[in-house]
Chains A and B, each alone.
Chain A
Amino acid sequence: MTAIPAAVPTGPVAAGPAAPARRLSPLTGIENTLTLTWRSLLKIRTNMEDLVGLSLQPIMFLVLFTYVFGGAISGSTHGYLQYALPGLLVQSVLFATLGTGLMLNADITGGVFDRFRSLPIARWAPLAGAILGDMARYMISVAVMLGFGMVLGFRILTSPLAAAAGCALVLGFALAMCWISALIGLLARTAQGVQVFGFTVMFPIVFASNLLVPARTMPGWLQAFVRVNPMSDLATATRGLMTGGPAAGAAVKSALWALGIVVVFAPIAVRVYRRKT
């Protein structure tokens, strides 16, 4: 097999590379990823629905849970807000991870991925770019939740540093979860498929936990599930880091969970992604 390229035709085409490069440098891969991250960020700006969803949903959850359930659960809405906000933080970011799958799915069904795959870019860049870009979405969600929570009366009782660590923990966990979301986005045939996953898997995981209520009043079997549910650890850790209480053990546990999810799902997602290529 000769590697001699065809004669480069004259005219504007000659301005292109005379002989194509043999291999893609890792630096190019990072550049590609940053370009695609930029793309994701631009989409947040141009896509009003997404922006509204990202900011309105946390506000809605906060208002509804605090004023509808707060009094009944904790006796006072303020007391409940202190308990529930860290949990709601976890919940809204987790729901936001579904966006990763939805976007990947839209890219695949819409043909944008075909375009990427026909370009001389790193194979993993579109995946990495989508996930990095989503981190910005999660940060918006966290910022809105915390900011609006403060307006309603939520107070950080530890230190700004500890609270920041709590946010970082939630974001780190979201980064792990979005690999699962990415996998679903790659496997689902339609956007509805991704949504169905959201409702059937995310809802039980989020609600069968101590995110919104303490597990005390739940039946034993459910308590058992709540105890092993990583969301409970994540919420306990975040709560501890923001409003005081034991946090270290739960934080370590949720970090390990996040790590485990990445170790298991990232390779599968990358593999499925490559197979699509």
Chain B
Amino acid sequence: MTSAFETEGLVKRFGTTTALAGVDLSARTGTVFGLLGPNGAGKTTAVRILATLLRPDSGTARVAGYDVVREAYQVRQLIGLTGQYASVDDGLTGLNNLVMIGRLLGLPRRDAKARAVELLARFELSDAAGRAAKTYSGGMRRRLDLAASLVGRPQVLFLDEPTTGLDPSARTDTWTMIRRLVADGVTVLLTTQYLEEADLLAQDIAVIDHGEVIATGTPDQLKARTGGQVLEVAPDDRVRLGEVAGILMGLTGAAAETDIATGRVTVAVADAAALPEIVRRLDASGIVLAGFALRKTSLDEVFLALTGHRAKHEQAPSGGRGQPARPASAEPVPAAAAAGSREAEESHR
């Protein structure tokens, strides 16, 4: 299997802040690789290094086998980059923005124009082609930025939070576009804060936090490791919170968390089949419910669960640093175990 891009032990510091603390990534050609993490996790730094905009302090990064530092010129011929903030020239029209990129990439004037027209049509910007980009709406600018990164028909496309700040329909459009690109054979590195987005698009995901990869795997593997879904139960009478927690733990085998302030008990649910039994048991105990909701695991919960998991593994002598990132265990860790280890860690404090 060829890697479209890979990093090994990537380290980058800004002053005293460590943005990346030894990151290993590897993306299969022709797939979407999702880099998931909260703000400040190091996602953008990793993208900027891969896109030759930043030099790593140590470690290596390669795109299609080319080193991003020593062979930056080759790398630049193969990549497209769309940053978090649309980097289009406000003073130029949409058309000229794209023609400029085409010309810079060495296309003859006529070809550059043709490519620009084609991309504008594809991104539904034809009507605005002759207007200065500064008159564009946020969504239009993003589309123009995306179009600009595609002028050179890149093999590897870096999309740094391409949907942050977009409205839901614009977000769906972006997803469709990404799927089409991948169908054409492009490898996409997608950074996002949204679990849902990575889930929908990525074949492989790496979760990073504080500059470290804390989990990798397919979306299904990650979800299995973090419990997948969360059940929230709020008894009408808060006095009975403890009782509710007991029932939930008994039936799911997972650790329940009681939030007295909001009067809710939450528990990870690996198997939705347990729900009818939970309702029956609560009813049998005469607990009147003010709230009962099943929702997807939020990113916060994923991180909480994953950080707990990592803490357990850091004690192991084979930390896996310097090795290509792989899930610590190929087998999905049962949610209960993950949640249990989190609780165990918390009880140590």
Question: A119 contacts B155, CB within 8 Å?
Answer: no
The chain B residue with its CB closest to the CB of A12 is: B184
Which residues on the A side are within 8 Å of B79 (C-beta)?
118
Most buried by B among A13, A110, A118, A119: A118
CB < 8 Å neighbour of A31 from B77, B85, B106: B106
Is B114's CB within 8 Å of the partner chain A?
no
A8 to B90 Cα, complex, angstroms: 34
- List which B179-227 residues lie within 8 A (CB) of chain A: 183-186
CB < 8 Å neighbour of A8 from B71, B77, B86, B155: B155
Which residues on the A side are within 8 Å of B52 (C-beta)?
117-118
Which residues on the A side are within 8 Å of B89 (C-beta)?
39, 43, 107, 110, 112
Which residues on the B side are within 8 Å of A15 (C-beta)?
153
A244 to B73 Cα, complex, angstroms: 54
Is A220's CB within 8 Å of the partner chain B?
no
Can you list, as one digit per residue, whether each of A93-130 has a CB less than 8 Å from chain B (1) or not (0)?
A: 00000000000001100111111111111000100000
CB < 8 Å neighbour of A2 from B53, B65, B81, B186: B65
CB < 8 Å neighbour of A13 from B53, B71, B101, B185: B185
Which residues on the A side are within 8 Å of B76 (C-beta)?
118-120
The chain B residue with its CB closest to the CB of A32 is: B104
CB < 8 Å neighbour of A115 from B87, B91, B186: B87
Question: A5 contacts B66, CB within 8 Å?
Answer: yes
Known interface pairs A9-B30, A20-B77, A119-B104; A3-B65 also in contact (CB < 8 Å): yes
Can you list, as one digit per residue, whether each of B81-101 has a CB less than 8 Å from chain A (1) or not (0)?
A: 101011111111100100011
The chain A residue with its CB closest to the CB of B186 is: A13
Can you list, as one digit per residue, whether each of A185-214 has a CB less than 8 Å from chain B (1) or not (0)?
A: 000000000000000000000000000000
A35 to B96 Cα, complex, angstroms: 11
A10 to B132 Cα, complex, angstroms: 35
Question: A11 contacts B73, CB within 8 Å?
Answer: no
Is B245's CB within 8 Å of the partner chain A?
no
Question: A39 contacts B186, CB within 8 Å?
Answer: no
Is A217's CB within 8 Å of the partner chain B?
no
Known interface pairs A22-B73, A112-B87; A119-B132 also in contact (CB < 8 Å): no
Which residues on the B side are within 8 Å of A121 (C-beta)?
104
The chain B residue with its CB closest to the CB of A111 is: B87
Question: B155 contacts A47, CB within 8 Å?
Answer: no
How many residues of chain B have a CB within 8 Å of chain A? Answer: 52
Most buried by A among B52, B74, B104: B104
- List which A35-73 residues lie within 8 A (CB) of chain B: 35-36, 38-39, 42-43, 46-47
- Interchain nearest-CB distance for B193 vs A (Å): 19
Is A6's CB within 8 Å of the partner chain B?
yes
Can you list, as one digit per residue, whether each of B144-161 has a CB less than 8 Å from chain A (1) or not (0)?
A: 000011001111000000
Question: B53 contacts A119, CB within 8 Å?
Answer: no
How many residues of chain A have a CB within 8 Å of chain B? Answer: 49
Which residues on the A side are within 8 Å of B48 (C-beta)?
114
Which residues on the A side are within 8 Å of B86 (C-beta)?
111
Question: B73 contacts A21, CB within 8 Å?
Answer: yes
Question: A7 contacts B2, CB within 8 Å?
Answer: yes
Question: A16 contacts B87, CB within 8 Å?
Answer: no
- Interchain nearest-CB distance for B117 vs A (Å): 16
A42 to B90 Cα, complex, angstroms: 11
- Interchain nearest-CB distance for A112 vs B (Å): 5
A23 to B73 Cα, complex, angstroms: 7
Question: A12 contacts B153, CB within 8 Å?
Answer: yes
Question: B100 contacts A39, CB within 8 Å?
Answer: yes
Is B229's CB within 8 Å of the partner chain A?
no
Question: A115 contacts B93, CB within 8 Å?
Answer: no
A188 to B149 Cα, complex, angstroms: 27
Question: B85 contacts A111, CB within 8 Å?
Answer: yes
The chain A residue with its CB closest to the CB of B100 is: A39
- List which A150-175 residues lie within 8 A (CB) of chain B: none
Most buried by B among A1, A17, A20, A31: A20
Contacts A/B (CB < 8 Å), 13 sampled: A1-B67, A3-B71, A6-B4, A6-B64, A9-B186, A15-B153, A16-B78, A39-B96, A46-B91, A115-B149, A117-B53, A118-B51, A119-B105
Interface residues of B (CB under 8 A from A): 2-4, 29-30, 48, 51-53, 64-67, 70-71, 73-81, 83, 85-93, 96, 100-101, 103-106, 132, 148-149, 152-155, 183-186
